[in-house]
Structure 1
Amino acid sequence: MLFHVRMDVHLPHDLDPHIRADIVAREKEYSQRLQREGKWPHLWRIVGEYSNISIFDVDSTDELHALLSGLPLFPYMTIKVTPLATHPSKIAGVG
């Protein structure tokens, strides 16, 4: 199952710099592991924002929820999930 996920990060401005650095490092490690596993095949930064657009490829909505809630930055995020389906006009093998 494919999902389009927009994640907007809202870290508190007064967050201790050491805590921030730790959370960001753990986030990078976790997200890269999911990418290597094929669960997070696409990840794009939104220019000028602390946000991203991602495509997740998972077996269920429950799995997606578990992966997203496992993100170290999850408590500081607004997340919008859109399920995706194959478009009938899509040319096989493209995109």
Structure 2
Amino acid sequence: MTRPGPGRPQPTLDTLAITLLAAVPLHILELRAQDDQQRIAIARRCADVVAAHGDDLQYGGKHCREAFNALARGLAVAAYQPGGITFADLHWCTAAHLGCPRAGR
């Protein structure tokens, strides 16, 4: 994914980042009661949806909402892993860890 540069604005990237900043923490909260095995199953389902409909998320399509929610929920599951997850220069984690880009915030 290329980053915006002079003369190359990417409003869809900005929109995706902003919506993920809102959605991923909500999914993290919803997943608190799930154990590791349940999260693994959720992650697999999310990966299948994103693999099948990621193009709808990127370019618009009838499965855009489903693909977005699967991406956000999958990132939330990954936030529970040691070291969390960084995607599109955004980082989510559920526990303090060495080198955390969110440390001190």
Asked if these proteins are the same fold (TM beyond 0.5), I'd say no
TM-score, structure 2 length as denominator? 0.31
Relative contact order, higher structure (CA 8 A, sep 6+): 1
Higher strand share: 1
